[in-house]
Amino acid sequence: MRPDGAILLEMGLATSVAGILCGAAGIALRRYRLAAVARNAIYANAFLVVVATLVLMTAFFEHDFSLLYVAQHSASDLPTFYMVTALWGGHAGSLLFWLALLCLYSTAVAFVHRRDREGMLLPAVHVVLLALQAFFLYVLAYVEGSQPFEPSGGLVPEGAGLNPLLQDPVMAVHPPALYLGFVGMSVPFAFAMGALVSGRLGVQWIRLSRWWTIFGWSFLTLGIILGGFWAFRELGWGGYWAWDSVENSSFLPWLTATAFLHSVIVTEKYRMLKVWNMVLIFLTFALTIFGTFLTRSGFLESVHTFAENKELGETFLWFLAGWFLLWAGLVAVRWSRLRSENRMDSFLSREFAFLANNLVLVALAGIVWTLTVWPSLSGKLEHSFPDLGIRQMTIGPATFSRLTAPFFLLLLLLTGLGTGLSWRATSGGRLFRAFALPLAAGLLVAGAFAWVLPSIVRRPLELGDVQPVAAYGFAALVLWVTGAEFVRGVKARRKAQKEGLFAAAFALYARNHRRYGGYLVHVGTCFVILGITTHWNYQVEVSGVARRGEPLEVAGFALRYGGEHEEFDRENTRVYQATLEIVDLRAPGEPVLGTIGPERLHYTHPDQWMTEVAYHSTHFASSNLYVVLAGFPDRTKVPLQAYFNPLVNLIWGGAAFFLLQAYLLLLPWDRIHRALKARKLGRAERVERRIEEEITRRKRGAG
């Protein structure tokens, strides 16, 4: 017999409250043992919530439709693999998954830092994490419509099935990655609040939370990229980012978290931007909660949102308002101790470039937030206050792209400038040496791109192509400056340590992995931005019918249909597939490049139709021809929706490199370098000892 998951959640809520009260009392009385009760409550909560989550998972695998959530999001013919993804397929289950991750994060923080003694900083962090857990436990236990263990109220012979959009391998990774990012941002927020409560406002809280911040940010990045990749290969509209309101809700905290990761570098080095760090970390946390509010309150309409729950929306807003008042009050009390200890000496300095980078990221977040919220907010204002003259506004993806593109270009430029500038101030000679060649390289690359652009996008160059050409020039600037930094560092190390090229490069990265790892993240970002810029500006879309003997042309390619089509079953779906040949009309001899098979799918539970995209890579796999069935094929014709996506694969390649470097930042490179150095020294000592033994042996033999 399974335990009752609802009772486990109620027990967790009681444990959280007890831990908060004891922890707060211990902090106030400066009694560490009493405050340590909060840490023990974190361990207990992790056990209770993980068991509750396993109870719900077991119900899915046993097809226990007596639970309403299981009946709504699974069916007896659902493939076993997707029984796991059904856990976060709906509102209540996704909140339980969020809570489970929060408990695991909290447990990891409590265990990893169990020996740290920073006054009352760690106990305060524990209390904040417990308070966050208590909120989600309350929602899952008592808010109507958010209870994962609510009974279905009768005999349910069959479930409704899982949304077909979620029956995809990428969707088995995308939501957990996104939640790891969202929930992970609670940890640096807890450290910031702990620092404000305990008064430990130096850089120690930043150093303690740095790894957790990078971890959460890396998974948030992974979740966003996987979401875009899933949309590109599954939704069939030829894109990966539509500036959907819920897509934006994941992008907003990523922007502010990225700003925070840059800002703390200045704080650690020169004890500046302390208040700014507090603002950024609160904004990041608040935007993760606000994004959760958007998907569940009914405030916005989106393909990603869960069912409307106004009570839950109000609960989230009150929760967020309470944390804002507490945070603002603590910042006001600690204001004098949050002042910067140094000032910026020059506009031509690396720290000013970091600040400018921060301001652009926050401005970009402000624009995206406003454009996301205003359509719904203006509609509600029009309905509630008709006399104000406000009319509901619809804002499409083109508006987002047009308003944000200059900010992305400015970020690219600042990335190159910030890498080349010196700390504190940059002399005229240093400025010339740092940027003369990179600027020349940028101009050359921009000119070269303008020359090869027609062959890449398969159309002539136009006057309106200034923006993508500038993006390529700025990217060349970033790559040149970054490469120069690596070359300069390797040369200096080889000269000082007498090391080989690869040994010097590895040691340079290992000893300065945050700096040089960050540079490599910038390299991946360049390729992502170039792919996005080219795709946005030069995508070709064609709708039509390919007939036998009359191919459909797309950007100089022909989609040739010979009447080949199939109909067959695949697990819980019925598949309708057409076979098409791709011909390059602009190549000599018009060669056949390959065949593709786009599909239409009919799911039985639920009764729903989907499309399966087919695409063929071109231009050394950097671009692709992307085809969707717009109807059913027969022996004479097939209706199609086709797209030519130039350089779109730069996005996925650049993102993979970006993510690789982000996750490498999580490794303990200092320990790795010390271990390898000790191993090298040990090997050298063993060789030297053997040589000495051999010399001694020969001397004895000669005697």
pLDDT at 383 over 80: no
Of 114, 117, 118, the C-alpha closest to 200 is 118
Q: What is the mean pLDDT of residues 556-570?
A: 90
Q: How confident is the model at residue 650 (pLDDT cuts 50, 70, 90)?
A: very high
Helices then strands (H, E): number in the chain? Answer: 21, 10
Our measurement of the distance from residue 57's CA atom to the centroid of its chain's CA atoms, rounded to an integer in Å, reads 26
**Domain chopping of the chain, boundaries:** 1-165, 427-532+655-667, 540-645
What is the per-residue pLDDT across 93-110, written as a single tens digit (0 to 9) for each?
999 999 999 999 999 999
Which of 569 and 132 is assigned the larger pLDDT?
132
pLDDT value of residue 304? 47
Our measurement of the distance from residue 591's CA atom to the centroid of its chain's CA atoms, rounded to an integer in Å, reads 40
pLDDT at 45 over 90: yes
Percent above pLDDT 70 for the chain = 94
Cβ-in-10-Å burial (0-12, 13-18, 19+) of 697 comes to: exposed
pLDDT value of residue 463? 67
Sign of CA dihedral 527, 529, 532, 537: negative
Q: What is the mean pLDDT of residues 419-435?
A: 77
Q: What is the mean pLDDT of residues 345-368?
A: 91
Q: Do 499 and 493 contact (CB within 8 A), yes or no?
A: yes
Which of 98 and 440 is assigned the larger pLDDT?
98
pLDDT at 345 over 60: yes
Q: Do 138 and 13 contact (CB within 8 A), yes or no?
A: yes
What is the per-residue pLDDT across 441-489, written as a single tens digit (0 to 9) for each?
778 877 877 788 788 888 887 767 788 888 888 888 888 888 888 888 8
What rounded mean pLDDT belongs to the chain?
A: 87
pLDDT value of residue 639? 94
pLDDT at 536 over 80: yes
Q: What is the mean pLDDT of residues 340-362?
A: 87
The helix or strand, by DSSP H or E, that contains position 417, with its residue range, turns out to be helix 397-420
Which of 570 and 187 is assigned the larger pLDDT?
187
Tokens of 527: 């390729």
Q: What is the mean pLDDT of residues 404-430?
A: 84
β partners of residue 554: 557
Indicate the SS3 state at residue 161.
coil
pLDDT value of residue 303? 46
Q: What is the mean pLDDT of residues 347-360?
A: 90
Of 288, 329, 293, the C-alpha closest to 309 is 293
pLDDT at 589 over 70: yes
HEC per residue, 679-691: HHHHHHHHHHHHH
pLDDT value of residue 155? 73
Tokens of 400: 């987002």
Q: How confident is the model at residue 545 (pLDDT cuts 50, 70, 90)?
A: very high
> Which of 226-240, 528-542, 553-567, 667-681 is least confident?
667-681
Q: Do 587 and 558 contact (CB within 8 A), yes or no?
A: no
CB atoms within 10 A of CB 636: 12
Cβ-in-10-Å burial (0-12, 13-18, 19+) of 23 comes to: buried
Tokens of 649: 């694969």
Task: Provide the residue count of the chain.
Answer: 703
pLDDT at 88 over 60: yes
Our measurement of the distance from residue 34's CA atom to the centroid of its chain's CA atoms, rounded to an integer in Å, reads 38
pLDDT at 669 over 60: yes
Our measurement of the distance from residue 159's CA atom to the centroid of its chain's CA atoms, rounded to an integer in Å, reads 33
Q: How far apart are CA 10 and CA 8, in angstroms?
A: 5
pLDDT value of residue 683? 66
Indicate the SS3 state at residue 325.
helix
pLDDT value of residue 2? 60
pLDDT at 185 over 60: yes
